[in-house]
Each structure stands twice: as structure tokens, then as C-alpha cells.
Amino acid sequence: PEKYSLTDKQVGIDVGVADLAILSNGLKYPSFDNSYFEKKAKVWQRKYARRRHLAKLLVLQDRNKKVLCPRSLESFTNWQKAQKSKAKCQAKAANQRRDYLHKLTTNLVKQYDVIAIEDLKTKNLQKNHHLAKSIANASRRMFRQMLEYKCEWYGKKLIAVDPKNTSRICS
């Protein structure tokens, strides 16, 4: 890739829960909102579970009745259709999240020469069960990886800062 021109600008990025990234100049980038596809995937997950359960019951009935030609679980297409629909919804949400992160990181790398970001351990943050879903949805690790390789590609500098005392507001 061709190198972007140097802008002599620097920025610090605070990765948060409510917003994906808050820049040191006050600019906020919201977390990706996938509530629409999440709801659709939840509906299809319920349909999939119900249809699979009913198919298993019918397979067991055939086995117990000792039918000459018992049905197998693969012969039921309804639960397979539900599985495919659920997978499509989940894949669409993942693709849109990835696209959002690509656009965001490319924009940041174009605008700034030096980017400082918190070196957060996402695994430790996800131990808090109240915040785990929003943290996982934000894809902080993917955001960081994209920033790393794009900075390397375009000749920019990325600095990982120890997260200790980064969110503290001094008196």
C-alpha cells in the first residue's frame, strides 16, 4: 500500500465501554450497534433449538417403535434451514462490525502520525458479567490489531500504553 502523507499530529485513544474509542482531542467514536441482527439471530436460535428438539424426538420415536426405515437427524431439513438462517444473521453482524472497524482504523491512521492506545487485557474485563456482552461486541482486540497492521503498512507509529491510571481524573 502507498504511504499516507505525514500530518505531524498525535492522538491518544482511550478504549471505553459506552464508546469504542475516545480520542485525546475529545472526539468520540461509538461502539458498533448490532441490535437488529442480534435480535434476528436470537429468534432464529430459538427456532433452531425447537426444531432440532422435535426432530430428535421423532428420531427416538422411530427407534423405539422399531420402524423398518427409521429417520435420521439429517433427514429433517427444517432445523437445518433454521441453522443456516441463524448463521447468516450472525455472519452479517460480524461482517458489518468488521467493516465499521476497518473504516474507523483507516480514518485514524490517515489523520494521525503517532497513535497511543491503552494496552487493555480484554479477557480480564470480560470477567465482569454485567459488561461482558458489550465488551465482546466492541471487538477491542480486533480494533487494536487493525490499528497495529495499518500503522505498520502506512509508516505510522502506534504506542501501547500501560492502562494503569489512564482513566483517572485528577483534582
What is the tens place of the pLDDT at every residue in 6-53? 888 899 988 777 788 889 898 998 888 878 888 898 999 999 999 999
Element (H, E) at 91: helix 78-111
Place of cell 465482546: 136
Please give the average per-residue pLDDT across 129-138, as a whole number.
62
pLDDT digits over 117-130, tens only?
Answer: 887 766 666 666 66
Q: What is the residue-wise DSSP string for 34-67?
A: -HHHHHHHHHHHHHHHHHHHHHHHHHHHHHHHT-
Give pLDDT tens digits for 62-92.
989 988 888 888 889 998 999 999 999 989 9
Q: Indicate the domain borders of the chain.
A: 10-161
Distance separating alpha carbons of residues 167 and 68, to the nearest angstrom: 69
Report pTM: 0.77
* 24-27 LR contacts (CB < 8 Å, sep 24+): 24/116
Cα–Cα distance between 164 and 171 in angstroms, integer? 17
Does an H or E element contain 129, and which? none
